[in-house]
């Protein structure tokens, strides 16, 4: 039986037993009231369709559907309403809280038709979402590939920034993390328009001349413009555009995250120890979100530093930083210089050895204290 359905009634109806007859036709879970519904969602969810009475003891059916959709947003809600509540239930449909309304009493055949329509709607919505997700991931991959080829130094820095965001996420709940993660990965996409010499200077930790600084500061706006017309990337675009904004300018939360981790990365690249970096960052008022800065500081060992080591692909470990790009013997770039290693890119490199002869060993920076 295709699809999973949750049927919620306000009270048990031993005479009707409608749910038992529906269970013969569908993969159906039955619940009475809000508490049983929450328990069913936790134990057996997600459900493709939620069929619920409009009038329940502790909340109306539309609110219950929205509570379930907060956890499983793809679920399709159908309301069962008595004539006295029909107008309120129809308003919920108009507000987008439910897919349709069923007027009670109705037959099992009638409910079957409505449930089949709900399952069809679920299939339509998830297919569209899957298409958008695949399209979006493909677009993001294409953009990161362009950045890695056009400017490995900028790509390497974006990887480091993303790694620092993931480190921060272990100490601080980051709202809309997917968008912040994507903004970190694409934070330097606008750098494809900048001269390589300028980015090499930044990668080396050198100070920029005023005209160079002005040119470099155009890359967030350029990057945001590249992403502006991609579906579901509006917030990512806004975060990238405001990545250099001060905290007291009230940028989006994700932009405040990027400001903290990117400035830390810049100062670390200049050779400053972690303790001195955080002293400097705490000393400037209004630039950094204090909560984010404190949380991030807690994830960085005070005595953090690096030792240089030559390693093979099999010796790579998380948190190492590449001092040179990893390339195949025929010159194909596999991972750019300055990238911080994580489980995903280490696995990808190990797998690459099956298809390519890789130049090794490579020089890496190993965090002090890491074996």
Total residues found in the chain within this entry: 371
CA–CA dist 137, 178 (Å, integer): 12
222, two tokens: 């350029």
Q: What are phi and psi of 326, to 5 degrees?
A: -95, 125
Residues in CB range of 73: below 8 A, 6 or more apart: none
What is residue 1's predicted lDDT score, i.e. its pLDDT?
Answer: 46
Query: Model-level pTM?
Result: 0.54
What is residue 112's predicted lDDT score, i.e. its pLDDT?
Answer: 93
Residues in CB range of 67: below 8 A, 6 or more apart: 38, 59
pLDDT in tens, the chain (371 residues): 468 999 999 988 755 688 889 999 999 999 999 999 989 988 888 899 999 999 998 889 999 999 888 778 889 999 999 999 999 999 999 888 999 999 988 899 999 999 999 999 988 888 766 666 666 767 777 777 777 777 777 777 888 888 899 889 888 888 888 889 889 989 988 888 888 778 777 766 677 888 888 888 899 999 898 888 777 788 999 999 999 999 999 999 999 999 999 999 888 877 778 888 999 999 999 999 999 999 999 888 655 567 888 999 989 988 888 888 888 888 887 887 767 788 878 888 888 888 888 999 999 888 766 65
Tell me which CATH code domain 305-371 carries. 3.90.105
What is residue 371's predicted lDDT score, i.e. its pLDDT?
Answer: 57
At which residue do the structure tokens 């695949």 appear? 134
160 close to 338: Cβ distance less than 8 angstroms: yes
Q: Where are the alpha helices (DSSP H) in the chain?
A: 18-23, 33-44, 61-71, 86-94, 108-150, 152-169, 177-185, 196-203, 210-216, 219-227, 234-241, 253-269, 274-283, 290-297, 343-352
* Short-list 224, 274, 228, CA closest to 244: 224
CA–CA dist 33, 56 (Å, integer): 6
Beta bridge partner(s), residue 6? 29, 50
Residue 302 three-state SS: coil
251, two tokens: 């940028």
Dihedral angle sign, alpha carbons of residues 235, 93, 63, 23: negative
Residue 135 three-state SS: helix
Tell me which CATH code domain 151-304 carries. 1.10.3210.10
CA–CA dist 195, 148 (Å, integer): 15
Residues of the chain with CATH 3.90.105: 305-371
Tell me which CATH code domain 4-128 carries. 3.40.50.2300
What is residue 367's predicted lDDT score, i.e. its pLDDT?
Answer: 76
Angle ∠(212,273,368) on CA atoms, nearest 5: 125
> 205's torsion region: left (phi>0), alpha (psi -120 to 50) or beta?
left
Residues of the chain with CATH 1.10.3210.10: 151-304
Residues of the chain with CATH 3.40.50.2300: 4-128
């Amino acid at each position: 039986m295709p699809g999973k359905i949750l049927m919620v009634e306000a009270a048990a109806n031993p005479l009707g037993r409608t749910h038992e007859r529906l269970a013969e036709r569908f993969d159906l879970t039955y619940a009475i009231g809000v508490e049983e519904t929450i328990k069913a969602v936790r134990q057996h969810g997600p459900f493709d369709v939620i069929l619920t009475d409009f009038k329940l003891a502790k909340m109306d059916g539309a609110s219950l559907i929205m509570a379930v959709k907060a956890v499983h947003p793809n679920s399709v809600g159908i309301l069962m309403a008595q004539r006295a509540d029909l107008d309120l239930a129809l308003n919920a449909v108009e507000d987008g809280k439910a897919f349709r309304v069923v007027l009670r009493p109705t037959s099992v055949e009638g409910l079957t038709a409505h449930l089949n329509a709900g399952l069809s709607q679920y299939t339509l919505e998830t297919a569209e979402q899957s298409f958008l997700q695949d399209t979006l991931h493909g677009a993001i991959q294409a953009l990161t590939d362009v950045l890695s080829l056009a400017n490995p130094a900028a790509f390497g820095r974006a990887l480091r920034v993303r790694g620092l965001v993931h480190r921060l996420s272990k100490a601080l709940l980051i709202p809309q993390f997917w968008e912040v993660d994507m903004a970190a990965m694409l934070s330097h996409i606008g750098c494809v328009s900048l001269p390589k010499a300028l980015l090499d200077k930044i990668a080396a930790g050198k100070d920029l001349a005023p005209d160079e600084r002005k040119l470099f500061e155009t890359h967030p706006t350029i990057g945001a413009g590249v992403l502006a017309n991609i579906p579901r990337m509006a917030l990512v675009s806004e975060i990238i555009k405001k990545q250099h904004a001060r905290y007291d300018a009230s940028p989006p939360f994700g932009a405040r995250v990027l400001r903290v981790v990117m400035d830390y990365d810049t100062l670390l690249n200049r050779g400053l120890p972690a303790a001195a970096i955080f002293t400097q960052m705490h000393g400037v008022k209004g630039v950094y979100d204090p909560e984010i800065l404190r949380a991030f500081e807690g994830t960085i060992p005070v005595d953090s530093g690096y030792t240089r080591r030559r390693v093979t692909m099999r010796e790579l470990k998380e948190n190492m930083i590449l001092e040179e790009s990893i390339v195949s013997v025929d010159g194909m770039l596999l991972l750019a210089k300055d990238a911080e290693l994580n489980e995903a890119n280490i696995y990808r490199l190990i797998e690459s050895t099956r298809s390519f002869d890789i130049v090794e060993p490579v020089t890496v920076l190993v965090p002090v204290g890491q074996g």
